Copies of this chain bind each other. A is one copy, B any other.
Amino acid sequence: MKYLFIFLSGLLLGIGVRAQELRYVDAATLTLVNKAQTTVNPYHRIDTARYRDLTAPAKRYLLHSAGIAVVFRTDSRTIAARWRSCEHRLYNHMTGIAATGLDLYIRRSGEWVPAGFACNRPAEAEHQAVIVEKMDSTEKECLLYLPVMDQIVSLEIGVDPDARIVAADNPFRHRIVVLGSSITHGIAASRAGMAYPAQLERRTGLEFINLGISGNCKLDASQARMIARISADAFVFDCFSNPLGPLIEERLAEFVAIIRAAHPSTPLVFLQTVVRGTGNFNLERRAGELHKRQTAAEGMRRLIAAGDRNLYFLDPGLDPGSEALVDGTHPSDLGFKLIADRLEKQLLRIFKHYDIR
């Protein structure tokens, strides 16, 4: 009855809030989480000017806001956003919501619950959208994930004119930095919050910092040097998906050595590459992927056998026949859930040795 009343009142009082009637605050004055470092543009993941020898595509992707989230507390009944971005492109293998949109979670009884999204529609440089409205006016803790495949130039959060909005404490503990391929980047999650690092952080309460570099995470020494200069309680590497076997063989030992020199005892967790569906029937792809996996496993076995007790090798173990891939390579939300299920247990088992809990 109460809901019916609210519902009917809503119908009588008219349709939704208009985004321009709200009060906007600069998101940079709130709390940004899942950041590897401070950057001049706060929505960039890495200040690429500091790492001049990174390749051009790695630099471009590290400016994407993938994984970064804004956290704040508000009693507003409406939450909106107004933002400018550089790329705002649509892709065939992912949704526009993931590529260039925003993904809001609100904490309820300790759980992060999906609360709304903002679509950049049509994809354009400047955009404004109501994310959720007609909420009750209790204060809420909000977690707003930024676009997976776009560079944010500016972002403002809109609330009711008389509502309070303040920076919240970082809800996540410790710092787990994940360097990886498109799969870490979050391609092809349906929303930014469904990439496996984001799922893992909501589940575990640990901060997972996304440094996915779609297609360009090939055990480059330049990326190892970047990681050497970033502080973290643990590093996770999804670095066997992009390079072929020969490149893995050539680069792995040096890659680990560069990072180890800077982080002598930090746990380094390498992930085996996800078995691709593209090899289900294409024999050449299947052989190439198998060779890659074998080279990665052998290389890791050798490094671990050499005595580094803080080096780990895990398998996310996605079955390519499981229908969990969008395009034979990139997981759907189903695939990302299966990866997170598997990694959550394995990572927590490792992390507890380091008091990361």
Contacts and interface: CB of A to CB of B under 8 A. Distances in A.
Interface of A: 3-7, 10, 90-97, 101, 106, 111, 113-117, 119-121, 132-136, 140, 188, 190-191, 193-194, 199, 277-278, 280-288, 290-291, 320-321, 323-328, 332-335, 337
B97 A326 contact: yes
A17 to B, nearest CB: 11
Contact of A191 (B101, B288, B326): B326
A204 to B, nearest CB: 15
A116 B283 contact: no
Copies of this chain, tallied across the complex: 2
Contacts of A282: 116, 132-135
Given A4-B291, A93-B97, A333-B333, A280 B113 contact: yes
Contact of A287 (B10, B90, B283, B332): B10
Contacts of A325: 114
23 contacts: A3-B283, A3-B290, A7-B284, A10-B284, A90-B96, A92-B97, A92-B121, A93-B96, A93-B119, A97-B326, A97-B327, A113-B321, A114-B277, A114-B280, A114-B320, A115-B280, A115-B281, A119-B327, A134-B284, A193-B323, A199-B323, A323-B333, A333-B333
A281 B106 contact: yes
A351 to B, nearest CB: 23
Contacts of A4: 287, 291
A94 to B, nearest CB: 6
Contacts of A5: 287
Contact of A91 (B96, B106, B188, B290): B96
Contacts of A97: 92-93, 326-327
Q: Give the top 8 A-B pairs by smallest Cβ distance, nearest first.
A: A92-B96, A3-B287, A7-B287, A10-B284, A332-B333, A190-B326, A334-B334, A333-B334
A223 B134 CA distance: 34
A291 B7 contact: yes
